[in-house]
Amino acid sequence: MDEVFRALADPSRRRLLDSLNARNGQTLGDLCAGIDMSRQAVSKHLAVLEAANLVTTVRRGREKLHHLNAAPINAIADRWIHRYDRDRVHALADLKTALERQPMESPSFVYTTYIRTTPQRLWQALTEPAFTRRYWGGVALRSEWTAGAPLLWQNGPDDEFADLGQQVLVAEPPRRLSYTWHGFQPEHAAFFGWSDEELAARLGERRSTVTFDIAPHGDGVRLTVTHDDFSPDSEMYRAISGQLPGSGGWPEVLASLKSLLETGEPLAAA
């Protein structure tokens, strides 16, 4: 955590994070064009931010894309803000977002976390129903985990496994897993308080894709989750990134996964 505070202490690095917060997935050239610093200086600042895990990178062909990584900030919030007055902080953040929000064009979500476990154990946690049920709020996932296989979703232990149209795209244990994401369901409207018209509009969003990249790292693993291919100005993007009130999104799920693998217990429900 000391590295995070040192990285955030520099105003130039905070400007780079602000730039990525406004538009995620930028190349080094993009970042240099949007900030009054030399390419060498931007590269040095990005190296510090990567070392602090505040920025994560993804290769797309010949390009190296930089993404703001929320994991360290969430860790700080869990340690202090949650203990005191997190509800008020969230309320103010929601108001600020509502006032400043502009339509997002093809947003993407990238989240990197480090877990003290093995790649094989993490693969089990991502693919076995008994595991997912523990850290995903009772949700169990089931599939043959081969490319083209359907992915079934069970909301509770007494429910039937439902086919929501999800499909496995890549399954390379224990290195890479990718599948299509589900669309909104009627229960989401009840949970978020949407009208029939609001739900109907969100049902028109295209299906997105989530990818888990697993790599050994020291005595643990580096897990990078990339969720992309959203519709422009996607409400699903806001849900999975934890921006919708009441939705912890991937940050909450992955924090609970990390806790389960490292301590034997998932995070307690809020």
Can you give the pLDDT of all 270 residues of the chain as single tens digits? 678 888 888 888 888 888 888 788 888 888 888 777 888 988 999 999 888 888 888 887 788 888 888 777 766 666 655 544 444 444 444 434 443 444 456 688 999 999 999 999 999 999 999 999 999 989 999 999 999 999 999 988 889 999 999 999 999 999 999 999 999 988 888 888 899 999 998 998 999 999 999 999 999 999 999 999 999 889 999 999 888 888 889 999 999 999 999 999 998 765
The alpha carbon of 50 is separated from its chain's Cα centroid by a whole number of angstroms, namely: 17
pLDDT of residue 38: 86
Instruction: Please name which of 88, 17, 80, 101 lies closest in space to residue 53, comparing C-alpha atoms.
Output: 17
Set out the domains of the chain in order of their start, with CATH numbers. 2-69 (1.10.10.10), 108-263 (3.30.530.20)
Quote the pLDDT of residue 178: 98
pTM of the model: 0.73
Q: What is the chain's alpha carbon radius of gyration, rounded to the nearest angstrom? A: 19
Closest CA to 179 of 190, 168, 163: 168
Give 150: exposed, middle or buried? Use CB within 10 Å, 0-12, 13-18, 19+.
middle
The total number of residues shown for the chain amounts to: 270
